[in-house]
């Protein structure tokens, strides 16, 4: 096979694969702006579908819930990850020979293994159907990855910057905020993006814990599609609304998403 024909075949195969990946997305977008209730594509673009879906599904409420949960989880999670990563990566921790493996274990524990007692315990504490309860679970489940991620980032910093700061008499908190953190903003940004995506995209946890007025956008979308089986165009418009925040971030920060998820998968 000549280099030229090899090159052409490369493009052909990749393009076919790309079309297969984009086919469901494309027809979905076409359906979302179609005036046809069955969602058949049409040249007459109906942008009003988004507004109709927004009101009919009461996305104003559920998107606010999702956004509240996500923002709080991202902020608290990032602070805890920085503190934990700094502790395990720079200061050292009493008992870290036991504690660190215990934290790593958390990356392998799936939600299914803990969801049942979690639900019944939170129910007796009055934390079901409350945003606080779901936020606590998201934050707690995020600690292992956060500590693991930030610890690696802190350890990649040259030790000299800590030593010279220590000579100047900086305390551990000041060293963390004014010296270490500014140096690892790239790692922090990636962590924020991943954490935003995981929290926003969550379905299982919200499905179990939040009902009625506290439904997140993903769960509300699930309910909406059940009620609007005959109005495919509105269902598709609703789907795009819920997917939009993360999608926009992906368009802007593609490299960070990919490199972050890779590093998260390899974890060594």
Q: Provide the phi-psi class of 225: left if phi over 0, else alpha when psi is between -120 and 50, else beta.
A: alpha
Q: Considering the complex, what minimum distance in angstroms separates the CB of residue 105 from another protein? A: 8
Handedness of CA 78, 80, 84, 86 (dihedral sign): positive
- Residue ranges in 103-162 that form contacts with another protein under rule CB under 8 A: 103-104, 106-110, 112-121, 136-137, 139-141, 143-147, 151, 155, 159
- Rounded least distance, CB 40 to another protein, Å: 9
Q: Provide the 10 A C-beta neighbour count for residue 6.
A: 9
Residues 22-61 that bind another protein (CB under 8 A): 22-25, 27-28, 31, 38-39
Choosing from 55, 68, 178, 254, the residue that interacts with another protein (CB under 8 A) is 254
CB 117 within 8 A of CB 185: no
Q: Does 6 bind another protein (CB under 8 A)?
A: yes
Among 45, 126, 203, 213, binds another protein (CB under 8 A): 203
User: Any contact of residue 187 with another protein (CB under 8 A)?
Assistant: no
CB 198 within 8 A of CB 144: no
Which residue number, 67 or 83, has a Cβ lying nearer to another protein?
83
C-beta of 92 vs 182, nearer to another protein: 92
Q: Which two tokens stand for residue 160?
A: 């000299």
Q: In this chain, which stretch among 13-21, 44-52, 54-62, 180-188 interacts with another protein, using CB under 8 A?
A: 13-21
Per CB under 8 A, the list member of 100, 130, 170, 189 interacting with another protein is 100
Q: Residues 67-96: x/- map of binding to another protein (CB under 8 A)?
A: -------------xx-xx-xxxxxxxxxxx
x/- letters, 220..249, toward another protein (CB under 8 A): -xx--x------x--xx--xx-xx--xx-x
């Amino acid at each position: 096979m000549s280099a030229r024909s090899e090159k052409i075949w490369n493009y052909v195969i990749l393009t076919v694969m790309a079309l297969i990946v984009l086919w469901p997305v494309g027809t979905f977008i076409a359906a979302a702006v179609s005036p046809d209730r069955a969602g058949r594509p049409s040249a007459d673009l109906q942008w009003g579908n988004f507004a109709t879906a927004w009101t009919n599904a009461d996305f104003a409420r559920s998107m606010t819930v999702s956004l509240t949960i996500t923002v709080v989880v991202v902020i608290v999670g990032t602070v805890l990850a920085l503190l934990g990563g700094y502790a395990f990566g720079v200061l050292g921790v009493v008992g870290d020979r036991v504690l660190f493996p215990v934290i790593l274990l958390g990356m392998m524990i799936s939600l299914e293994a803990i969801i049942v007692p979690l639900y019944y315990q939170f129910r007796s504490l009055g934390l079901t159907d409350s945003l606080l309860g779901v936020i606590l679970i998201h934050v707690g489940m995020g600690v292992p990855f956060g500590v693991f991620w930030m610890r690696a980032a802190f350890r990649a910093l040259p030790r000299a910057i800590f030593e010279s700061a220590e000579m100047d008499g900086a305390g551990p908190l000041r060293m963390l905020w004014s010296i270490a953190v500014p140096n690892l903003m790239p790692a922090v940004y990636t962590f924020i993006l991943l954490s935003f995506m995981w929290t926003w995209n969550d379905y299982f946890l919200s499905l179990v814990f939040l009902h009625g007025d506290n439904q997140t956008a993903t769960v509300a979308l699930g309910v909406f599609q059940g009620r609007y089986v005959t109005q495919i165009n509105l269902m598709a418009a609703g789907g795009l609304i819920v997917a939009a925040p993360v999608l926009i971030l992906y368009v802007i920060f593609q490299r960070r998403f990919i490199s972050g998820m890779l590093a998260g998968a390899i974890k060594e």
